């Protein structure tokens, strides 16, 4: 079992996320804990108002919402009674025994899971401290629940059962629910596991699983509103299917969430820089330096994926290293100039030659394009040019020479200008 705890400023947002899932047929409310009535006797507004009134008992608590998801192994078939028992035990042990909470069973992913919505304010108005609750309380409870309910242990699941695979675009691109489920499976693993510090670095990982985090073009509405959507990519890296807004995922992996991760990951990845740099240096060591393809293959054996960014002419202008062993991502320049795209090509002799040939090819293509575009103007210039005289081309050349040669004048200069200036003698005294 894997538990994910999120706190927020809006009780309504967590509540309506799950209620909207019910309207879409992707969830069902299966429990109302510590409510004065049974779940069957509560309507939607009554379920929400109980949470809001409890949160209002202490207005100083700004992040008053708690949203928890408990995720189980795909092989486990749990009944609603088992899910409600697990939810009750979990909330009791993490310090929410007397809190009103709602439990929703979701059907929108490839594994069984439930969502729990509650508040951080107790009925007496005191605040529930949630700092480090995941490490201090949740981990202990999770492990005990795995034993008591005979669940697949999370540690064994990570080592032996789970293997993240690229999204199957053939299955996911035909509908929103399939697309969302496929993307969610990738995001749940990548976002909290890998240490990335920019959207580009995150996409270097996501692209390996046929997923893209898209902020839109500069002039798009998504970009102007600081939004983010996730897309599925086909085998050629082109977006397919229906884009899904970040806000439609329960953990809301939008730009605000990602920027918080960027700051945390910057420090977390520092100890792993040396491993990537040493692997690159070792691969480029010696007189027989590999080309880019050889370097990529050598690093791949070390568990480091090299992601190259190239323009339409095949010229490499960017490089990113994804270390799958330490879950760390580095743009080349963040490791140092000699590990950037330009630095790697300078250090790789064969790659430099290949780069030069590609640049020459690109230059030839560009020149060909300019020559082609200049043809109409060339014809116009020919029409407007001087007509050759009876002397032929040689006469025309002489006429052009006379126009552009410096002016020659053999006439004599006036005497005043031809006269040389006399040197002025110094007045030397003859006496001592």
Of 83-92, 311-320, 326-335, minimum mean pLDDT range: 311-320
What's the domain range around 30? 2-161
Q: What is the pLDDT of residues 103-132, one digit of tens each?
A: 999 987 667 899 999 999 999 999 999 888
Show the tokens assigned to 376. 């109409």
Residues 367 and 381: their CA atoms lie apart, in Å, by: 20
Residues 287 and 280: their CA atoms lie apart, in Å, by: 15
- The model's pTM is 0.52
In a domain, 137, yes or no: yes
Do residues 106 and 114 touch, judged by C-beta distance below 8 A?
Answer: yes
Q: What is the pLDDT of residues 378-417, one digit of tens each?
A: 444 444 443 444 344 444 444 444 444 444 444 445 555 5
Domain identity same for 245 and 187: yes
In a domain, 234, yes or no: yes
CB-based contacts of 16, cutoff 8 Å, min separation 6: none
Domain limit, last residue, from 332, 354, 376:
354
pLDDT for 413 equals 52
pLDDT for 367 equals 57
- pLDDT of 197 > 90? The answer is yes
Do residues 245 and 227 touch, judged by C-beta distance below 8 A?
Answer: yes
Long-range (24+ apart) CB contacts under 8 A made by 353-358 are 354/291, 354/292, 355/315, 355/316, 358/313, 358/314, 358/315
Domain identity same for 125 and 177: no
Domain identity same for 182 and 39: no
Domain identity same for 137 and 211: no
Rg (CA), the chain: 36
To which H or E segment does residue 33 belong?
strand 27-33
Domain identity same for 42 and 78: yes
**Pairing label, strands 2-8, 27-33:** unpaired
Domain identity same for 196 and 131: no
């Amino acid at each position: 079992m894997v538990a994910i705890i999120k706190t927020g400023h809006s009780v309504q947002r967590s509540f309506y996320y799950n209620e909207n899932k019910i309207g879409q047929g992707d969830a069902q409310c299966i429990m109302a804990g510590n409510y004065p009535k049974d779940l069957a006797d509560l309507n939607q507004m009554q379920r929400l108002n109980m949470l809001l009134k409890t949160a209002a008992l202490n207005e100083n608590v700004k992040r008053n919402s708690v949203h928890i998801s408990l995720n189980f192994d795909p092989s486990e078939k749990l009944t609603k009674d088992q899910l409600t028992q697990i939810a009750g035990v979990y909330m009791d042990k993490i310090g929410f025994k007397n809190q009103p909470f709602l439990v929703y069973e979701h059907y929108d992913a490839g594994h069984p899971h439930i969502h729990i919505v509650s508040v951080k304010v107790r009925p007496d108005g005191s605040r529930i401290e949630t700092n480090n609750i995941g490490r201090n309380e949740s981990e202990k409870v999770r492990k005990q629940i795995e034993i008591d309910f005979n669940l697949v242990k999370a540690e064994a699941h990570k080592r032996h059962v789970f293997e993240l695979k690229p999204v199957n675009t053939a299955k996911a691109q035909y509908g929103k629910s399939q697309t969302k489920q496929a993307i969610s499976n990738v995001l749940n693993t990548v976002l909290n596991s890998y240490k990335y510090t920019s959207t580009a670095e995150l996409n270097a990982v996501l692209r390996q699983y046929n997923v893209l985090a898209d902020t839109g073009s500069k002039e798009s509405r998504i970009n102007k509103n600081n939004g983010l959507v996730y897309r599925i990519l086909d085998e050629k890296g082109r977006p397919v299917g229906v884009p899904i807004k970040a806000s439609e995922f329960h953990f809301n992996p939008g730009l605000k969430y990602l920027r918080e991760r960027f700051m945390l990951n910057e420090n977390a990845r520092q100890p792993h820089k040396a491993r990537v740099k040493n692997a690159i240096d070792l691969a480029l060591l010696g007189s027989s330096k590999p080309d880019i393809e050889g370097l990529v293959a050598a690093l791949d054996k070390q568990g480091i994926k090299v992601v190259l960014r190239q323009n339409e002419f095949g010229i490499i202008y960017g490089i990113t290293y994804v270390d799958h062993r330490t879950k760390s991502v580095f743009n080349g320049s963040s490791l140092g100039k000699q590990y950037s795209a330009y630095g790697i090509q300078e250090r790789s002799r064969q790659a430099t030659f290949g780069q030069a040939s590609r640049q020459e090819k690109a230059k030839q293509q560009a020149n060909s394009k300019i020559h082609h575009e200049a043809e109409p103007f060339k014809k116009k210039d020919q029409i407007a040019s001087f007509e050759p005289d009876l002397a032929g081309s040689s006469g025309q050349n002489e006429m052009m020479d006379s126009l552009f040669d410096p002016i020659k004048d053999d006439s004599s200069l006036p005497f005043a200008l031809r006269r040389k200036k006399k040197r002025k003698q110094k007045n030397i005294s003859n006496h001592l």
